[in-house]
Structure 1
Amino acid sequence: MSGADVKRTAVPRTLSLALTVGRTIREVRAANEDPVARLTVALTETPYHGIDCDPVRPA
C-alpha cells in the first residue's frame, strides 16, 4: 500500500489511538493497576472520547 493510499483510506488518528491503548495496557500490567480506569483517563485525550457506540442501546 502506498503512502497516498493510506492517506486516502485511513481513518484519522486511529493508529495513534491504537498506540495509546497498547501503551496504556502495557504500563497498567507492569504496575498491576486497574486497566479500565487507566484506559478511561487515556482515552479522554482522544477525539473519540464520548462517542456513543453501543450497538444494543438505541440512540
Structure 2
Amino acid sequence: IYYGNANVFVMTELISKYCHVQYLLYPFIFFLQTIPILQLHLVTLHLSNGSKAIISPEH
C-alpha cells in the first residue's frame, strides 16, 4: 500500500515540477513566438519607410 502511495507522490511531484518548469518557460516560448512577428513588423515598417523615401524625391 505504501509503495502505491509513494508512486502517486512521485507522480504528483514530477507533474508539479513539470508544470512549474512549463510555467517558467511559457514567457520565454511566448517571447520566441513574438520575435518573427516583430521582425516582420520591422521589415514592413522598413519597406514602407523605404518606399516613402523613394517616392518623396519624385514629388
TM-score, shorter chain, exceeding 0.5 = no
Q: Please give the range of the TM-score, normalised by the shorter of the 2 chains.
A: 0.3 to 0.5
More helix by share: 2
Using the size of structure 2 for normalisation, the TM-score is: 0.39
* Larger Rg computed on CA atoms: 2
- Answer 1 or 2: higher relative contact order, Cα 8 Å, separation at least 6: 1
